[in-house]
A and B are shown apart, each in its own frame.
Chain A
Amino acid sequence: MKVKYFAWVRERVGKAEETIEPPATVRTVEELIAWLSGQSEAYAYAFEKPKVIRTAIDHAHVKSDAAIAGAREIAFFPPMTGG
């Protein structure tokens, strides 16, 4: 699946997007964040406060217990500050 990062999450991870293949045991957004955090220092830093991170699956906001099965694109970003 494709993963995108925005604002300071992007800066901390060090890339805007990538394709990942998490193991089948990673089923929810929360589990994906935990799995990514274990991949490197950069991810651990980006996701150090997982409750702050907002997530969208296929362009729609989701909660941390949302299932990631079938997702084409998952995005992680800080609370929004537009307008």
Chain B
Amino acid sequence: MPVTTCPVTIRIQQDDFDIAREIAVLTGNRTDIGAVVSFSGICRGDEDSAKIAALSLEHYPGMAEEEIRRHADEATSRWPLNGVTVIHRVGRFMPGQNIVLVLTASQHRQAAFQAAEFLMDYLKTNAPFWKKEESASGTGWVEAQARDDEAAARWTRS
């Protein structure tokens, strides 16, 4: 068996990210990676037909990084991954701006697809971030969605 390494990069930042650059960093000069899945979450311009002017994201410094790290570790133990990158932005965003990036690298696509979905499902329900929406009718905290809990629950192993 060839020795595979799985670098895990986790960053929480205000600045935008460059997806192409992050993929290049993840794959580097390696030739053992056959698949990279990239998910980016973007600030939507409307929610349930109501226009959104901006979105603010707050997080729990320290715990947010640790919680994402725990999920990344679980992902690397469940799937044969060759690299994981999770970048979550905090601050105030306008529609169209990037919020989150998840990259998973593997030899084959199935592991990369599944791990990326797993990471996003857990990130939404377990990582300590909160969104506040600004719209014409005022500002308000975004409510957690039952469908996100259901999405995360399907990965639970008995």
Given contacts A56-B63, A59-B63, contact A83 B58 (CB under 8 A): no
Among all A-B residue pairs, the 9 with the closest Cβ atoms: A82-B129, A79-B144, A7-B130, A83-B124, A59-B63, A81-B142, A83-B123, A81-B131, A8-B141
The reply on B74 being an interface residue by CB < 8 A is no
Given contacts A4-B60, A82-B59, contact A77 B141 (CB under 8 A): no
Given contacts A56-B63, A83-B120, contact A78 B127 (CB under 8 A): no
Closest to B145 in A: A81
Given contacts A6-B58, A7-B58, A7-B141, contact A80 B127 (CB under 8 A): yes
**Which of these, B41, B120, B130, contacts A80 with CB under 8 Å?**
B130
Interface size on B, residues (CB 8 A): 28
The reply on A46 being an interface residue by CB < 8 A is no
- The A/B interface has a contact count, at CB < 8 Å, of 71
* Interfacial chain A residues near B130, Cβ < 8 Å: 6-7, 77-78, 80-82
CB distance from A61 to the nearest CB of B (A): 7
Closest to A52 in B: B144
Q: Is the CB of B123 within 8 A of A82?
A: yes
Chain A residues proximal to chain B, CB less than 8 Å: 4, 6-8, 56, 59-61, 75, 77-83
Chain B residues proximal to chain A, CB less than 8 Å: 41, 57-60, 62-64, 66-67, 88, 99-100, 120, 123-132, 141-144
* Interfacial chain B residues near A75, Cβ < 8 Å: 60, 63, 128
Q: Is the CB of A82 within 8 A of B141?
A: no
